Structure 1
Amino acid sequence: MSGANEGRSLYERLGGIYGIAGAVDDLVDRLYDNESANRNPAVRQFHEKGGHAGFKFLVTAWSVQETGGPRVYPGRDMRESHTHLKVTEDEFDNVYTTIEQSLFQVGVPKPERDEFMAIIESYRSMVVAPENRDAA
């Protein structure tokens, strides 16, 4: 089956830097206002410090890189950047759902949403603190 998306990276199908930055703009605003996420004291403290614009930059750069765009992410790896937050499975699920909502809100088609969400899911074991992981 041949189509317009054949051979195109997820980065390209998401609209490149502009499409990804638009989704991240919506996402980070949602995360900073997310009462459930902010119940975690370490997350709340991070959000209270500000850095909204810098966080949007890092999430955009990470997303660009993870979807097949240029390697531009200057931040720490996921495990290192989340260790001090002691993220639980429920907190990961909450952010996962928030990401999915943002992608839907900005009009990302379902196949691309599903592909991006699979990337997010692949990072669960790096983001959720070992002591908070559900027994498999």
Structure 2
Amino acid sequence: MCRVILTLSLALFLQTAHADNHGSMEAKSLYDRLGGIAPISVVVSDFIDALVPDTALNANPKIDAARMAVPPEYLKYHVTAMVCQVTGGPCQYHGRDMKSSHAHLAITEKEWDRMVEIFLQILSRYGVPEKETQELLEIVGSTKGDIVTMR
């Protein structure tokens, strides 16, 4: 029931953001246009839930081992805080930097592309508008050099 309420809240927030006139949308932070912490946390939760069991990603034994060692709830907490912060919200991310967090995982371009594919599927599921999707992709893309270590 709680998940249904959060999903409906996300849809309402996104519709409101999309319905605003273009001028006022420009003045709002990405965080505000995404609807704030509640919808961001729902999207992040579903994203992590899709990443953790993904067989293509877990074919990398280092990623698979990390999935076993790091609880999904811990990832959800940190990723939510990070997304909140980098989109202009009030949260503060206190985790490790992307390079040191991912260096030991030997992530490839193919694995990166799979993560982006899953991310786009989740954003699409929640009807995140194209403009906000592109802004999120730019933010995520800015971390690629620190995450992909196997070319």
Per the normalisation by structure 2, the TM-score is 0.82
Q: Which residue is equivalent to 2:5?
A: none
Give the Cα–Cα distance (whole angstroms) in 2 for the partners of residues 88 and 6 of structure 1.
35
Q: Which residue is equivalent to 2:64?
A: 44
Deviation (angstroms), 1:50: 4.9
Relative to structure 1, the CA distance from residue 13 to residue 46 in structure 2 (aligned partners, 3 Å threshold; closer, same or farther) is same
CA root-mean-square deviation: 1.4
Give the Cα–Cα distance (whole angstroms) in 2 for the partners of residues 10 and 32 of structure 1.
26
Q: Which amino acid aligns with 1:22?
A: V
Q: Which amino acid aligns with 1:82?
A: H
Count residues in correspondence: 131
Relative to structure 1, the CA distance from residue 128 to residue 53 in structure 2 (aligned partners, 3 Å threshold; closer, same or farther) is same
Structure with more of its chain in helix, by fraction: 2
Poorly superposed stretches of 4+, deviation over 6 Å:
none
Relative to structure 1, the CA distance from residue 41 to residue 101 in structure 2 (aligned partners, 3 Å threshold; closer, same or farther) is same
Deviation (angstroms), 1:4: 3.6
Give the Cα–Cα distance (whole angstroms) in 1 for the partners of residues 88 and 46 of structure 2.
21
Work out which of the residue numbers 85, 109, 124 in structure 2 matches 1:89: 109
Per the normalisation by structure 1, the TM-score is 0.90
Work out which of the residue numbers 1, 4, 18 in structure 1 matches 2:38: 18
User: Unaligned regions of 5+ residues in structure 2, if any?
Assistant: 1-20
